[in-house]
Structure 1
Amino acid sequence: MNNINILWVDDEIDLLKPHILFLEKKNYKVTTCKSGTEALDILDDTNFDIVFLDENMPGLTGLETLNEIKERRDTLPVVMITKSEEEYIMEEAIGNKIADYLIKPVNPNQILLSLKKNLDHSRLISEKTTSNYQQEFRKIAMDLSMVNSYEEWVSLYQKLIYWEIQLENIEDPGMFEILESQKNEANTQFGKFIDKNYPSWFEPHTDAPTLSHTLFKNKIVPELSKEQPTLLVVIDNLRYDQWKAFEPIVNNYYKKASEMLFYSILPTATQYARNAIFSGLMPSDMEKLHPNFWKNDTDEGGKNLHEEDFLIAQLKRLGLSHLKMEYHKITNLKNGKKLVDNFKSLKDNDLTVVVYNFVDMLSHSKTEMDVVKELASNDKAYRSLTQSWFKNSPLLEMIQQAQQMGFKLILTTDHGTINVKNPSKVIGDKETSLNLRYKTGRSLTYESKDVLVAKDPKSIHLPTITMSSSFIFAKGDLFFAYPNNYNHYVSYYRDTYQHGGVSLQEMIIPFVVMNPK
């Protein structure tokens, strides 16, 4: 520890000689003075890393000196030292953003600990986190070569996100690159796993994860009761790491009863995955049983206009028509605020469903893509954007009101998104669907290594638009691009967030049940 400058302000500074010698032996540089006024003069001329400030001094008191210091140097850490344990002094000092609080008599080790905590904190945490991840890295690499079940994939993905968030605040680009390469490797292996196992999840009596179409019946229905109203919030496009970014805010109002990750069906796109949640059916069954509600990719008009109808039909099928249910879809700020204003009217419902179109809320403009691309060019920035959106959204106000009214809260999503990096060429006729991460159509030409193919869509319960229609899903961080106007298209969509394909980020998504605090 070198070059750390300490200013120590105490009217009885001579009594602290042993402490000062102790610090100087450890290579700290200590400047002393006996009054607040003197301290402020010295601070005008010299830069310090930290100030130790006696609270009880003649002339300018410690608290008055603290106020003056903070006005001049807001970020300079100040450690308050006092004889008094009176609460109001602590509150005043803490209110003024002191870095630490020590009560006399102090011993040298307390001083040292305070210095380490305030000046060395980020370096120590950074070193510890880095060395912990280096150990874990080898374990994750081993797991990656052996992971072979949907449960193991969930647990591996949770581990990767845990470390991504831990490493987020560490200025070590090398570590981050290692983690990124692990995530890419994980997605490569995950693509192979899905290719091999996904169709079998729909066969009777096989061990399958909770999927979009089984989520409502298996996970939401058991939580519903006439005794306590439930607020079910489905946030569009919400990945697990984004949930983790704003979970601490929700924790101020709700405590977690359970959290699990379930699998979105393919394509991981709103019209498929979200309709599957509300209907309790796979897309080919929706088309068959509710032809008036279901629209295929090539059909005209909105594809998610009948979620409420699907939900009413599912409740009826499950013998739950007696439940008082209300459904709201929020697609803009005005809708959100209106629902907040009328929230009290929901108290008699057994189930209130709120679908929140998160990405639409980030930007109303048609250049939504550019706005999000600029503000969230990588996952760290995207998490940060999610957190600040949530903090300022009507959704948080709804959650606060729900807590006050005693609602159980269930929070989930329809699918995640992935930051796409690399184009994969595809050729199709004019009837081919438009999504960048999956395509369905008649005569698709594509790079086989880049995609998961469903030549017979029925095998994974997807509609066949014509006899020869197939589906292809992009793997990893690829996105589909047509050969014509290729370069413009690629530069426009690279580094944007897309969904519809096969990746951990899109398929493995959060489902959380919470009780009001």
Structure 2
Amino acid sequence: MNKMRILWVDDEIDLLKPHILFLEKKNYSVATCKSGSEAIDRLENENFDIVFLDENMPGLAGLETLNEIKEKQDNLPVVMITKSEEEYIMEEAIGNKIADYLIKPVNPNQILLSLKKNLDHSRLISEKTTSNYQQEFRKIAMDLSMVNTYEEWVNLYLKLIYWEIQLEDIEDAGMFEILESQKNEANIQFGKFIDKNYAEWFKPHTEAPVMSHTLFKEKIVPEISKEQPTLLVVIDNLRYDQWKVLEPVINNYYKKDKEDSYYSILPSATQYARNAIFSGLMPSDMEHLFPEYWKNDTDDGGKNLFEAEFLDTQMKRLGLTNFKFEYHKITNFKTGRKLTDNFKSLKNNDLTVVVYNFVDMLSHSKTEMEVVKELASNDKAYRSLTLSWFKNSPLLEMIQQAQQLGFKLILTTDHGTINVKSPSKVIGDKDTSLNLRYKTGRSLTYDSKDVLVAKNPKDLHLPSINMSSSYIFAKSDLFFAYPNNYNHYVSYYRNTYQHGGVSLEEMIIPFAVLQPK
């Protein structure tokens, strides 16, 4: 293995001989020079892994040398070493992207720590992360055998997401495969839990999680007030792991007041879950009370065209008629840009609701476009693509403006999505719904071990298309496929992102309340 090469620049380099000998014993190669100009010359002709740079030198001073190094080799780590603790020197150095800042006199262990931090950083993090996950693996496996409440499932899922994000950049692919198998096992057990408990949650006097139809009343209403405007952002189809990678960007403008979760209703699909959020009702009640707003799967036309009207009815039902609110749905860049440009006009609202549809479009595009299949080939890439969109979106600009205007920010979604891997054969008549993760219709034939079944839709507060309709929901990472043209269909939809079924990714939803910094 080649030794790491250090260039140490100090006009009193002879006094540092003990430090240099110490580093050479630790298997580092140390080259020295006594001036900034000499350092620049050496860097043009030789390759180094890191530079130790004295701030106070005659001739070309440390900060000037730093500027020249960064102009030529922006990615070369530079550790500034100085006798001065003056704030402006620190700020100048940090502004020029130094790797570390040490105050003289430095001891050998400080130098060694800085080297480890900058040169061995990835390897050390990888080893430590792997070691920590190996220990946590056993605990998660034990939790998985005992988890029995909706709160415990949330906690377990958040642990799996934490480790998924921690492990995604390490070199040990085997560890990531172990985590994947643990996630798969968790989803199998979660499917059994939902099968056993979901219908019970709707019975009187049964302890149940906050769900789509109770979210507004239970979690959002307590946060809105006449004293501070609130911006409620519902990013369609946003998974919990995607929220976790967006959160650091939002933290530049907002500090998190609370983070919580809730459960999507079944089907975990926009037409059902998001209408339930805004109406405060389950689908069968929407169909009964507001037939002019509700459309079933087999009806023509858009299924989420009346969210603003549903919200208005819920606000009135909850006695919130004195609150001024507006609802906006963003389905493309142009409408997002327009709302951003006019955002200041919303500052007099008590509640501004923005439904943002990009992530949903991304998941559908992955099914239909080869280029998106390449860009979002797995969950890591899907998170990365979502983050890239968000950083360059009108939505982020909207959040920045909301912070400047003093808005409270509530960010959530209606359901998540899962990367489907395995087909499950299903047979239905021509009126069977088209979704790949749930089906409703008459005379459905299916593999019972693959699905949660609602033979009587009213048990789950779902509408019936006709008298003998039932619902089935795919579990884990399965997707429904018809026997006709089976191989083509399976090949087309495998490894695409779908929603509507029973999985941790689709049903456990992030809910965050943030205050402007």
* TM-score, scaled relative to structure 2: 0.96
Deviations 1:324-354, CA, capped at 9 Å, x for gaps:
1111111111111111111111122121111
Single out whichever of 414-423 and 68-77 deviates more from structure 2.
Answer: 68-77
Which residue of the partner structure matches residue 50 of structure 1?
Answer: 50
The gaps in structure 2 that reach 5 residues or longer are none
Q: Whole-Å Cα distance in 2 between the matches of residues 12 and 319 of structure 1?
A: 76
Q: What is the CA-CA distance between 1:513 and the residue it aligns to? A: 1.4
Single out whichever of 72-81 and 411-420 deviates more from structure 2.
Answer: 72-81
Do 2:366 and 2:372's aligned partners in 1 also have CA atoms closer than 8 Å? no
1:170 and 2:185 correspond? no
Q: What is the CA-CA distance between 1:2 and the residue it aligns to? A: 6.6
Correspondence list, 1:286-301, <5 A = 286-301=286-301
Correspondence list, 1:4-19, <5 A = 4-19=4-19
Q: What is the CA-CA distance between 1:467 and the residue it aligns to? A: 1.2
Q: Whole-Å Cα distance in 1 between the matches of residues 506 and 360 of structure 2?
A: 18
Which residue of the partner structure matches residue 513 of structure 1?
Answer: 513
Q: Whole-Å Cα distance in 1 between the matches of residues 181 and 194 of structure 2?
A: 20
Q: Whole-Å Cα distance in 1 between the matches of residues 382 and 69 of structure 2?
A: 36
Q: Which amino acid is the alignment partner of residue 245 of structure 1?
A: V
* Residue aligned with 1:297, SS: coil
Which residue of the partner structure matches residue 149 of structure 1?
Answer: 149
Which residue of the partner structure matches residue 415 of structure 1?
Answer: 415
Q: What is the CA-CA distance between 1:92 and the residue it aligns to? A: 2.6
Single out whichever of 269-278 and 384-393 deviates more from structure 2.
Answer: 384-393
Which residue of the partner structure matches residue 377 of structure 2?
Answer: 377
* Residue aligned with 2:31, SS: strand
Q: What is the CA-CA distance between 1:360 and the residue it aligns to? A: 5.2
RMSD after superposition = 1.8
1:21 and 2:21 correspond? yes
* Residue aligned with 1:258, SS: strand
Q: What is the CA-CA distance between 1:373 and the residue it aligns to? A: 2.1
Do 2:270 and 2:414's aligned partners in 1 also have CA atoms closer than 8 Å? yes
1:424 and 2:424 correspond? yes
Correspondence list, 1:293-312, <5 A = 293-312=293-312
Q: Whole-Å Cα distance in 1 between the matches of residues 383 and 252 of structure 2?
A: 19
Change (3 A) 1:380 1:53: same
Which residue of the partner structure matches residue 87 of structure 1?
Answer: 87
Single out whichever of 439-448 and 175-184 deviates more from structure 2.
Answer: 439-448
Correspondence list, 1:46-445, <5 A = 46-359=46-359, 362=362, 369-445=369-445
Change (3 A) 1:210 1:489: same
Q: Whole-Å Cα distance in 2 between the matches of residues 2 and 135 of structure 1?
A: 32
Percent of matched pairs sharing the same residue: 85
Q: Whole-Å Cα distance in 1 between the matches of residues 401 and 44 of structure 2?
A: 49
* Residue aligned with 1:131, SS: helix
Which residue of the partner structure matches residue 476 of structure 2?
Answer: 476
User: What is the aligned length?
Assistant: 517
Q: What is the CA-CA distance between 1:361 and the residue it aligns to? A: 5.7
Change (3 A) 1:367 1:445: closer
Deviations 1:351-407, CA, capped at 9 Å, x for gaps:
111111122564997975544322111111111111111111111111111122222
Change (3 A) 1:368 1:467: same
Q: Which amino acid is the alignment partner of residue 350 of structure 2?
A: D
Q: Whole-Å Cα distance in 1 between the matches of residues 153 and 363 of structure 2?
A: 33
Q: Which amino acid is the alignment partner of residue 427 of structure 2?
A: I
* TM-score, scaled relative to structure 1: 0.96
Do 2:237 and 2:360's aligned partners in 1 also have CA atoms closer than 8 Å? no
Deviations 1:256-302, CA, capped at 9 Å, x for gaps:
22111100000000000000111111111111111111000000111
* Residue aligned with 1:11, SS: coil
Q: Which amino acid is the alignment partner of residue 72 of structure 2?
A: R
Q: What is the CA-CA distance between 1:46 and the residue it aligns to? A: 2.7
Do 1:332 and 1:361's aligned partners in 2 also have CA atoms closer than 8 Å? no
* Residue aligned with 1:310, SS: helix
1:32 and 2:37 correspond? no
Do 2:129 and 2:167's aligned partners in 1 also have CA atoms closer than 8 Å? yes
Q: What is the CA-CA distance between 1:161 and the residue it aligns to? A: 0.7
Single out whichever of 221-230 and 406-415 deviates more from structure 2.
Answer: 221-230
Q: What is the CA-CA distance between 1:249 and the residue it aligns to? A: 1.4
Q: Whole-Å Cα distance in 1 between the matches of residues 405 and 360 of structure 2?
A: 28
Change (3 A) 1:166 1:360: closer
Single out whichever of 65-74 and 377-386 deviates more from structure 2.
Answer: 65-74
Do 2:439 and 2:471's aligned partners in 1 also have CA atoms closer than 8 Å? yes
Q: Which amino acid is the alignment partner of residue 48 of structure 1?
A: F
Q: What is the CA-CA distance between 1:104 and the residue it aligns to? A: 2.3
Change (3 A) 1:450 1:442: same
Do 1:333 and 1:361's aligned partners in 2 also have CA atoms closer than 8 Å? no
* Residue aligned with 2:255, SS: strand
Q: Which amino acid is the alignment partner of residue 514 of structure 2?
A: M
Q: Whole-Å Cα distance in 2 between the matches of residues 449 and 43 of structure 1?
A: 65
Q: Which amino acid is the alignment partner of residue 439 of structure 1?
A: K
Change (3 A) 1:143 1:363: closer
Q: Whole-Å Cα distance in 1 between the matches of residues 367 and 267 of structure 2?
A: 25
The gaps in structure 1 that reach 5 residues or longer are none
Q: Whole-Å Cα distance in 2 between the matches of residues 155 and 231 of structure 1?
A: 27
Do 1:331 and 1:360's aligned partners in 2 also have CA atoms closer than 8 Å? no
* Residue aligned with 2:198, SS: helix
Q: Whole-Å Cα distance in 1 between the matches of residues 463 and 35 of structure 2?
A: 81
Q: What is the CA-CA distance between 1:15 and the residue it aligns to? A: 1.3
Q: Whole-Å Cα distance in 1 between the matches of residues 385 and 368 of structure 2?
A: 14
Q: Which amino acid is the alignment partner of residue 225 of structure 2?
A: S
Q: Whole-Å Cα distance in 1 between the matches of residues 500 and 199 of structure 2?
A: 17
Q: What is the CA-CA distance between 1:105 and the residue it aligns to? A: 2.2
Q: Whole-Å Cα distance in 1 between the matches of residues 222 and 34 of structure 2?
A: 68
